[in-house]
Amino acid sequence: MTDQNTQHPLAMLDSTRAFIAAPRRMLIDGEWRESETGETIDVINPADASVLCRVPGASERDVDLAVRAARRAFDDSAWSRMKPTDRERLLLRAADAIEAHAREFAELEALDNGKSAAVAEALDVSMAAQCFRYMAGWATKIEGSTVDASIPYSPSNAYFGYTRKEAVGVVGAIIPWNFPLLMAAWKLAPALAAGCTVVLKPAEDTPLSALRLGELLQETGFPAGVVNIITGYGRTAGAALAKHPGLDKIAFTGSTPTGKAIGHAALDNMTRMSLELGGKSPVIVLPDVDIERAAEGVANAIFFNSGQVCTAGSRVYVHEKVFDRVMERVAAIADSMKLGPGLDPSTQIGPLVSARQLDRVLGYIDAGHAEGARAIAGGARGDGTGFFVKPTVLVDTDHSMRVVREEIFGPVLVAMRFSDTDAVVKQANDTPYGLGASIWSNDLAQVHKLIPRIKAGTVWVNCHSLLDNAVPFGGFKQSGFGRELGRAALDMYTETKSVLINHA
Ligand code: ADP
């Protein structure tokens, strides 16, 4: 195990340095503003706990201004008169602009979230650009249907019916800190493709890439008020947005408890909602696997993004015939991973996002030990002032333990053995969550039998947490409702209007 922190300066672009050199402002109605209360939030570098810069802490009044601006932009601006092809063109330009600034975005994510800049550039940033490009295509393909009506109690008239898919209106979007730019893209791109306007609130821990995106969207030519970006705490700005009666829809990604609070607030105004929430995703390893390939897959499923992934494969069930060999190899991979700051190209595991998250994850590791679990890798904090946790593998675990039942959202894997397929299905589904799952095997018959029995929004086979803009994503059970990405995303940002015409 090698630990490292940011005692040495790491190279970054001049543009990245310039972006964090001054306090940032938030975007309301096409203008960059302070909070009207003057409140600010320190943005912390999780690799060394230093302050990177400051952003405004939006108040309820700031949120109200942003929602009103979005409403004006939706009701009577050039945006509402824009043709689908023009929206498509703007979204395509936004994709190009993200790509043109890929390295800068990756560095901002590394500084702000802690993740590897190299991985962020290859994954987060390219997927975000691709999301805008993919959704651009849908702007011109939003269609209703035609209906030949035969209304029995009005036989002498002739009716023609059709449906229109109309933009739902003003969208409030609240996003988490684990994939800041990508989550902003997942919300903005489909909403804008459908013709909505948006008030986006990034997480207080990671506001920088969303603010940089706001600048690029302005340069791209989105009219004032179409995209508003407010920075602020969840309990103040987030809560004010969720309960604002001026919203038509709220789109949220984050933890299940926060999602429930937002859902309750939204329901009071009958605000449409989509919620992408937590997970405790099972990884099932069948006995026919190649040990090395399965072990690498299991390790990636949990340690990618330091385990801060809603679909992280945080519970692994390995067939007893291969359990010892697979888990020994997973532990060796965990021990070999290099901890370090995201800007260091050799880093394999970055810090957790915040001191709060560090305490939370270490608390779970302690709870695991107290309940009888045994760490065969990691199990402790990394060295240095940053928020590092060593990649941890816990064995001797069972379903009575908190580490098995609750979402940890860190690099902590719990491993259990199984001998019988029915039993493993029961265990995999023994969770309030249902976001993702993976099965590792080349036994097609077994795999196809398992897929329909797993209660999860996505089942991966011989891979884990892979996403594609064309494949819908979302959760069963307490992992939320609604589907992002794919054609399904458009349904979340449109209302169906039915029209009946009497043409007798
Ligand atoms: P975490 O606890 O790990 O920060 P959350 O799900 O609470 O995860 O945070 C995800 C997003 O939800 C962030 O943008 C946060 O500011 C926001 N948020 C937190 N609490 C609330 C709330 N009560 N109402 C609205 N948004 C909230």
String of DSSP letters for 98-110: HHHTHHHHHHHHH
258 alpha carbon – ligand 1 mean position (Å): 6
Q: Identify whether 16 is part of a domain.
A: no
Give the pLDDT confidence score for residue 361 in this predicted structure. Answer: 98
Residues 248, 264, single domain; the answer is yes
Residues 485, 424, single domain; the answer is no
Residues 399, 487, single domain; the answer is no
Residues 159, 267, single domain; the answer is yes
Residue whose CA is at the smallest distance from ligand 1 atom 26:
238
Q: Given 104, 276, 407, 484, which residue is catalytic?
A: 276
Give the pLDDT confidence score for residue 8 in this predicted structure. Answer: 42
Q: Identify whether 1 is part of a domain.
A: no
Give the pLDDT confidence score for residue 375 in this predicted structure. Answer: 98
- Check: CB of residue 128 under 8 Å from CB of residue 151: no
Residues 106, 77, single domain; the answer is yes
Residues 357, 209, single domain; the answer is no
* Residue 187, token pair as written in the block: 């919300």
166 is annotated as an active-site residue: no
HEC sequence for 373-389: CEEEECCCECCCCCCCE
Give the pLDDT confidence score for residue 9 in this predicted structure. Answer: 60
220 alpha carbon – ligand 1 mean position (Å): 29
- Check: CB of residue 276 under 8 Å from CB of residue 436: no
Q: Identify whether 223 is part of a domain.
A: yes
Answer whether 176 contacts ligand 1 (Cβ < 6 A): yes
CATH (domain of 419): 3.40.309.10
DSSP E strands in 151-238: the ranges are 159-167, 170-174, 197-201, 227-229
CATH (domain of 198): 3.40.605.10
The burial of 391, by beta-carbon neighbours within 10 Å (0-12 exposed, 13-18 middle, 19 or more buried), is given as buried
* Dist. CA 476–CA 464, nearest whole Å: 17
Residues 123, 214, single domain; the answer is yes
Answer whether 210 contacts ligand 1 (Cβ < 6 A): no
> To test the ligand 1 pocket, which listed residue (243, 258, 277) has its Cβ within 8 A of the most ligand atoms?
258
Residues 351, 446, single domain; the answer is yes
Q: Which atom of ligand 1 is nearest to the CA of 265?
A: 24
> To test the ligand 1 pocket, which listed residue (60, 174, 271) has its Cβ within 8 A of the most ligand atoms?
174
Q: Identify whether 65 is part of a domain.
A: yes
Neighbouring residues of 494: CB distance < 8 A, sequence distance ≥ 6: 142, 165, 166, 167, 168, 194
For residue 210, give the nearest of 85, 354, 58 by alpha carbon: 58
The dihedral over CA atoms of 426, 288, 314, 339, expressed in degrees to the nearest 10, equals 170
Residues 354, 438, single domain; the answer is yes
Answer whether 172 contacts ligand 1 (Cβ < 6 A): no
Q: 394: which strand partners? A: 375, 414
Residue whose CA is at the smallest distance from ligand 1 atom 24:
239
pLDDT in tens, the chain (504 residues): 334 444 446 799 999 999 999 999 999 999 999 999 999 999 999 999 999 999 999 999 999 999 999 999 999 878 989 999 999 999 999 999 999 999 999 999 999 999 999 999 999 999 999 999 999 999 999 999 999 988 889 888 899 999 999 999 999 999 999 999 999 999 999 999 999 999 999 999 999 999 999 999 999 999 999 999 999 999 999 999 999 999 999 999 999 999 999 999 999 999 999 999 999 999 999 999 999 999 999 999 999 999 999 999 999 999 999 999 999 999 999 999 999 999 999 999 999 999 999 999 999 999 999 999 999 999 999 998 999 999 999 999 999 999 999 999 999 999 999 999 999 999 999 999 999 999 999 999 999 999 999 999 999 999 999 999 999 999 999 999 999 999 999 999 999 999 999 998
Q: Identify whether 61 is part of a domain.
A: yes
Residues 489, 408, single domain; the answer is no
Residues 209, 68, single domain; the answer is yes
Answer whether 187 contacts ligand 1 (Cβ < 6 A): no
- Check: CB of residue 319 under 8 Å from CB of residue 287: yes
Q: Which atom of ligand 1 is nearest to the CA of 232?
A: 16
Answer whether 114 contacts ligand 1 (Cβ < 6 A): no
What is the C-alpha R_g of the chain? 24
Q: Identify whether 271 is part of a domain.
A: yes
- Check: CB of residue 329 under 8 Å from CB of residue 300: no
Answer whether 121 contacts ligand 1 (Cβ < 6 A): no
88 alpha carbon – ligand 1 mean position (Å): 31
Answer whether 486 contacts ligand 1 (Cβ < 6 A): no
DSSP E strands in 3-48: the ranges are 26-28, 31-33, 40-45
Residues 238, 326, single domain; the answer is no
Q: Which atom of ligand 1 is nearest to the CA of 204?
A: 16
Domain count, the chain: 2
Answer whether 301 contacts ligand 1 (Cβ < 6 A): no
Neighbouring residues of 81: CB distance < 8 A, sequence distance ≥ 6: none
Q: Which atom of ligand 1 is nearest to the CA of 259?
A: 6
Domain of 95, in residue numbers: 25-277+481-498
Q: Identify whether 3 is part of a domain.
A: no
Q: Identify whether 13 is part of a domain.
A: no
